[in-house]
Structure 1
Amino acid sequence: MRYFIEFSYDGSAYHGWQRQPKAISIQQTMEEAMSTLLRSEVKLVGAGRTDAGVHARQLFAHFDLDEAPDYADLVHRLNSFLPEDISVKRILPVIPNAHARFDALERTYEYVVVQRKDPFLFNWAHYVHLPLDVQAMNLACAELLKHTDFECFSKSNTDVKTYVCHLKEASWSEQEDRLVFRITADRFLRNMVRAIVGTLLDVGLGKSAVEDVNHIIKSRNRSEAGVSVPAKGLYLTRISYPESLFQIHG
């Protein structure tokens, strides 16, 4: 039987989601915990990869088990067994061919910027002390939504077959003492959000004009875009799936 597991984590201490040969990852930590508790090898297939230092408020992975577990009890035991920076929310039975990555309809990321030094947000936000023109940054966001090819924001030497992503939303909002960039799309390229944020911050700082965004995207050249901002301010916040995946008939 196949199951989805929903969880969240603070990525500060991990080398991203995916297993690494010589570094600790979220995937390895969770697989080892689940395999120990279930007394059977568990392999997780995540909805996507987050880079080292990136956080997730919501992420899903799928796994297979021969016997149905007591869902609530397994969630409780996992949360007792896992490190404090990883939390499991729920485990859901799904249809046999459900896939955490390929069946995802949309993904939403948020990037947090603070404009005053705050020791309590040091590991969870990017500090920019210079004034930012948020209105100009949102005008630049509107330009992003006119495009679908985002090769200029992709990490170099990736093995993707297409750089096409369909953006649904991209905007900045002021929330109390922080600026939050929110972006939703059907898929994202590796390093894409951090490169977009770096480019938008250049607009906000007056280093680039709003209309420069179109030139950058059309260039399809990573060196034309802004620098990648630090991973610590990035959060994967939502993944949506078709309801049909969860319609199990016994």
Structure 2
Amino acid sequence: MRYFIDISYKGTSYHGWQIQKNAHTLQVEIENALFRLLGVQTPIMASGRTDAGVHAKQQIAHFDTAEAIDIERLKYRLNRYFARDIVINSIVEVKPDAHARFNATERAYEYYVNQNKNPFLQELSYYFPKPLNVDLMNQAASKLLGVQDFESFSKVKTDVNNFICNITRAEWQIENVSLVFHVTANRFLRGMVRALVGTLLEVGLEKITVEDFKKIIEQKDRTAAGDAAPPKGLFLSKVTYPSSIYSN
């Protein structure tokens, strides 16, 4: 039996999602909990990896069991097991060949910038008190839309076959006390969202123009783009799947 597990987490205390030697990661934490509660080693596969310090409002992972499980009981026991920084939102049965990574059709991220010093947002946003021209930032963000090569915003050491992504949303919005960058695509490259944010902030500071930003995309060179924004402001916010993967 295969199940999708919907997870929210605050990534501050974790060295990212993926299992790493001698590191406290979310995958290790969740697999250990499943082993303790199910009594067997239960590997999980996520929709994608989040870096150290990055958060998730919705991360999806799949796992297999030999027999059907009591979903609500497992969800309850997992939430009792975890510390406050991990929450299981739901567990649903899916078809045996459903895959949390390869079947995802869209992923959405949010990046939070806080321009007023706020002790309650220190670990959940990037404190950036300098004045920003948000209109220019949105003009530049609009240049990201569509199917393009985003090598300029990818980490250099990566194992992907290509740097092509289809971005369907890219915009800045003011929400409560934060400035939030919303970006949705079929896939993202390693470090891509943080590199986009760091470069768009340079547009907002008027250090580079909208036309400069467009040229950075076209250069396909990571050294042309700005520094990556800190991980603490980044959230994986939604992962979308076709309805056909779910069990009837």
Q: Answer whether TM exceeds 0.5 for this pair.
A: yes
The TM-score, its normalising length taken from structure 1, stands at 0.98
Percentage of matched positions with identical amino acids: 49
* Per-residue deviation, 1:147: 5.3
Alignment map for 1:195-210 (pairs within 5 Å): 195-210=195-210
Matched residue SS, 2:121 = coil
Letter in 2 for 1:5: I
Q: C-alpha separation between the residues in 1 aligned to 2:45 and 2:19?
A: 11
* Per-residue deviation, 1:164: 0.1
Letter in 2 for 1:44: I
The TM-score, its normalising length taken from structure 2, stands at 0.99
Residue in 2 aligned with 1:67? Answer: 67
Runs of 4+ residues over 3 Å off in structure 1: none
Residue in 2 aligned with 1:27? Answer: 27
Alignment length (residue pairs): 248
Matched residue SS, 1:30 = helix
Q: C-alpha separation between the residues in 2 aligned to 1:94 and 1:188?
A: 24
Listed one character per residue, the Cα deviations across residues 94-124 of structure 1 (whole Å, up to 9, x for unaligned) are: 1010000000000000000011111110111
* Per-residue deviation, 1:143: 1.1
What are the ranges of 5 or more consecutive residues in structure 2 without an aligned counterpart? none
Residue in 2 aligned with 1:15? Answer: 15
Q: C-alpha separation between the residues in 2 aligned to 1:185 and 1:147?
A: 9
* Per-residue deviation, 1:247: 3.1
* Per-residue deviation, 1:67: 1.1
* Per-residue deviation, 1:144: 1.4
What are the ranges of 5 or more consecutive residues in structure 1 without an aligned counterpart? none
1:147–1:215 distance in 2 versus 1, CA, 3 Å: farther
Q: C-alpha separation between the residues in 1 aligned to 2:91 and 2:161?
A: 32
* Per-residue deviation, 1:92: 0.6
1:69–1:146 distance in 2 versus 1, CA, 3 Å: closer
Residue in 2 aligned with 1:240? Answer: 240
Listed one character per residue, the Cα deviations across residues 127-161 of structure 1 (whole Å, up to 9, x for unaligned) are: 11110000000000111115510000000121110
Q: C-alpha separation between the residues in 1 aligned to 2:158 and 2:176?
A: 37
* Per-residue deviation, 1:90: 1.0
* Per-residue deviation, 1:22: 1.1
Matched residue SS, 1:160 = coil
Alignment map for 1:170-209 (pairs within 5 Å): 170-209=170-209
CA RMSD of aligned residues (A): 0.8
Please tell me whether residue 103 in structure 1 is matched to residue 85 in structure 2: no
Residue in 1 aligned with 2:3? Answer: 3
Contact 1:2 1:63 in 2 (8 A): yes
